[in-house]
Structure 1
Amino acid sequence: MPEVRKVAILDDYQHVARQSAPWERVTDGLGAEITTFHHHLGGPDDVVAALEPFDALVVMRERTAFPAEVLEMLPNLRLLVTTGPANAAIDVAAAHRAGITVCGTGGVLDNAATVEMTWALILAVVRHVPEEDRRLREGGWQQTVGADLKGRRLGVVGLGGIGKPVAAVGQAFGMDVAAWSRHLDPDDARAVGVTPVSREELFATSDVVTIHMKLSRGSRGLVGREDLARMTAHAVLVNTSRGPIVDEDALLEALRAGSIGGAGLDVYGTEPLPADSPWRSAPRTVLTPHLGYVTSETFAEMYADAVEDIEAFAAGSPVRELAS
């Protein structure tokens, strides 16, 4: 049977991983030692230097990248567990070539946390919540004027597992909901009360545009300068999917020029966001540090499954293996 002796838990920024699951099944049951990293390790050289001794890693979604060149320099690694059912930051094929088993977890399949985060950002941007909170704490009083959502149009880019419940909340607010994606089934949209529209119409007529696409070669840079130029001066863009789906340079330009009303962003092209990132001073924005899936319930399920993955691997019967 494969032994698991040294386990590392990565990117536990909030110091909650060890309290979120029964890790004693790994320490006491398997006799393994667990080391938890509470900071982002950095680039490839830093990752290799920190993780070379470990034979099992538990990584939080896409916070740390494991391309082929990193995996090849971790000769002791035999098990790589990612929270969630997939992880675009892991070269799974390279892991398999190196004899590394890659397993996933549950915890994000119903998408509730990201749906709720999307609406937190929409409401925060439209009603200027962070700005007014800051002003009140500094001794001031109301200064901005928000907007009603009822009667306005919500444009959903990607009507899938997250886009549909986001659309349903918009309908509950009394919004007119429209959707577009390259592979949108118009009948599927109409069946849930959503109007299928062209790309041009969605960006030109929506008061709120929200992005719900998976990052892929085809979706990288999907929302570009032309799309943003079609948006009205009061419209806002919200992205809780992946930063590179939106042309970040074009979005910054639009915000600085005042050609769109604002943006709510939970994701960025580089994460964690560098200290000198221009996003930190971008106007008319509400920014959050990739909180979409960060809830205690989600973490409990993810880390409990990670414990189970380690136990199953040690027993010679891996579960939830990711295919190349």
Structure 2
Amino acid sequence: MTTPLILITDCDLPGDAAEQTLRAAGFRAERAPDTSFETLATLGAEAEGLIVQWHRIDGELMDRMPKLKMISRLGIGYDMVDVAAASERGIPVANTPSYCTEEVAAHTIAMIMAQARGLPAYDGAVRAGEWKPVAARPLAARPSRTTVSVLGFGRIGSLVARGCRALGFRVLVADPYASVDAVRAADCESVTIEHAIATADLLTLHVPLTDATRHLIDEAAIATMKPGAVIVNTCRGPLVDEDALVAGLRSGQIGAAALDVYEAEPLAASAALRAAPNVLLSPHAAWYSPEALEDLPVHAAENLIRFRDGESVPIVNPTYAAAR
């Protein structure tokens, strides 16, 4: 009996935990030496599963993998996989949504609080020799008088909403897939996306990147926001039109931003965001803790093991079964 092969297309994490987990469960595991189309197509011709981190997996590549039964994403977002093409071919796609939920929520709330209390500006002022506690920029918010709008009420968004509410903020939630009762149970208010954006003193994004959400925060959306509002993004970079954000920061329409993700990563040395005022930047690090680093490759491997064993897996395209 042939041992089924799992191909790891790309992975920039240290160690070989994914391979070890797969091999302990009876799979062969091979990591591609490069991500050229021919290399992946050749190695993947016998593969029954893929683990993918950043490389684009499209229908053309899937067609070169006739035995492929499942794709497991090494991370939460899955926009690097052509999910529609996978569904058409009867291939389920799974992500790893729980490996860093606490970390991203904590990072998000830290960014919200840093800008809500003007900490980056205070820090710069003290280092420059100023001592002006009443000159916070852009905000020195009292939580009970401040509205945080949370777009997306999934694992991370719901934790952020509850955390902000616990700190005393008024919290609005916009998520067409979340029940009003669930939002109300978190002591938050359910509103439309448009209302959430227009009403926010601080806006935080927790929605998947799709064609519909790409540049969700663009020039038109920014124009509807309160002058001086703050935007926080620890989710997916292309949710925000960075040119529009920079223009908003320079004009003062946007008071500040805190970003962990970007339209192109790593952020270019020449990126306008680096010189924009009142921006707090981190290097796509919201997910990180030593524990999350250990969990991520194992969770991605376990998706394939559990799928083989008929157990529940976080499938993002449940309609794949219709094509089988």
> Shorter chain as normaliser: what TM range?
0.7 to 0.9
Match of 1:122 in 2: 112
Q: Are residues 1:160 and 2:154 paired?
A: yes
TM-score, normalised with respect to structure 2: 0.73
Q: Deviations over 1:214-237 (max 9, x none)?
A: 223333333333331232333201
Q: Is the 8 A contact 1:52 1:75 kept in 2?
A: no
Q: Is the 8 A contact 1:107 1:298 kept in 2?
A: no
Residue 300 to residue 243, structure 1, CA distance change in 2 (3 Å): same
Amino acid corresponding to residue 194 of structure 1 in structure 2? C
Structure 1 Cα separation of the partners of residues 310 and 52 of structure 2: 17
**Which secondary structure does the structure 1 equivalent of 2:107 belong to?**
helix
2:205 to 182, 204, 211: 211
Q: Give the RMSD, CA atoms, in angstroms.
A: 4.0
Structure 2 Cα separation of the partners of residues 266 and 305 of structure 1: 23
Q: Is the 8 A contact 1:6 1:54 kept in 2?
A: no
Match of 1:48 in 2: 37
**Which secondary structure does the structure 2 equivalent of 1:162 belong to?**
helix
Structure 2 Cα separation of the partners of residues 249 and 285 of structure 1: 14
Match of 1:145 in 2: 136
**Which secondary structure does the structure 2 equivalent of 1:119 belong to?**
helix
Structure 2 Cα separation of the partners of residues 140 and 53 of structure 1: 58
Amino acid corresponding to residue 52 of structure 2 in structure 1? V
Q: Is the 8 A contact 1:262 1:285 kept in 2?
A: yes
**How far 1:262 moved relative to its partner?**
0.9
Pairs aligned (count): 306
Q: Is the 8 A contact 2:150 2:161 kept in 1?
A: yes
2:235 to 237, 241, 246: 241
Structure 1 Cα separation of the partners of residues 78 and 277 of structure 2: 32
Structure 2 Cα separation of the partners of residues 271 and 205 of structure 1: 30
Q: Is the 8 A contact 2:149 2:202 kept in 1?
A: yes
Match of 2:219 in 1: 225
Structure 2 Cα separation of the partners of residues 270 and 131 of structure 1: 26
Structure 2 Cα separation of the partners of residues 184 and 164 of structure 1: 10
2:258 to 258, 261, 264: 264
**How far 1:261 moved relative to its partner?**
0.6
Q: Is the 8 A contact 2:56 2:80 kept in 1?
A: yes
Q: Are residues 1:65 and 2:59 paired?
A: no
2:14 to 1, 5, 16: 16
Q: Is the 8 A contact 1:159 1:179 kept in 2?
A: yes
Structure 2 Cα separation of the partners of residues 309 and 292 of structure 1: 23
Structure 2 segments unaligned to the other structure (5+ residues): none
Structure 2 Cα separation of the partners of residues 149 and 69 of structure 1: 53
Match of 1:292 in 2: 286
Amino acid corresponding to residue 111 of structure 1 in structure 2? T
Amino acid corresponding to residue 206 of structure 1 in structure 2? A
Structure 2 Cα separation of the partners of residues 216 and 162 of structure 1: 18
Residue 80 to residue 156, structure 1, CA distance change in 2 (3 Å): closer
Q: Is the 8 A contact 1:17 1:303 kept in 2?
A: no
2:98 to 108, 114, 117: 108
Residue 205 to residue 155, structure 1, CA distance change in 2 (3 Å): same
Structure 2 Cα separation of the partners of residues 171 and 32 of structure 1: 47
Structure 2 Cα separation of the partners of residues 283 and 256 of structure 1: 7
Structure 2 Cα separation of the partners of residues 294 and 69 of structure 1: 33
Amino acid corresponding to residue 83 of structure 1 in structure 2? L
Q: Is the 8 A contact 2:3 2:27 kept in 1?
A: no
Residue 82 to residue 22, structure 1, CA distance change in 2 (3 Å): closer
Q: Is the 8 A contact 2:76 2:96 kept in 1?
A: yes
Q: Is the 8 A contact 1:312 1:318 kept in 2?
A: yes
Structure 2 Cα separation of the partners of residues 194 and 78 of structure 1: 41
Structure 1 Cα separation of the partners of residues 153 and 21 of structure 2: 40
TM-score, normalised with respect to structure 1: 0.73
Q: Deviations over 1:170-220 (max 9, x none)?
A: 122221222334556544433321133455543344221112222233333
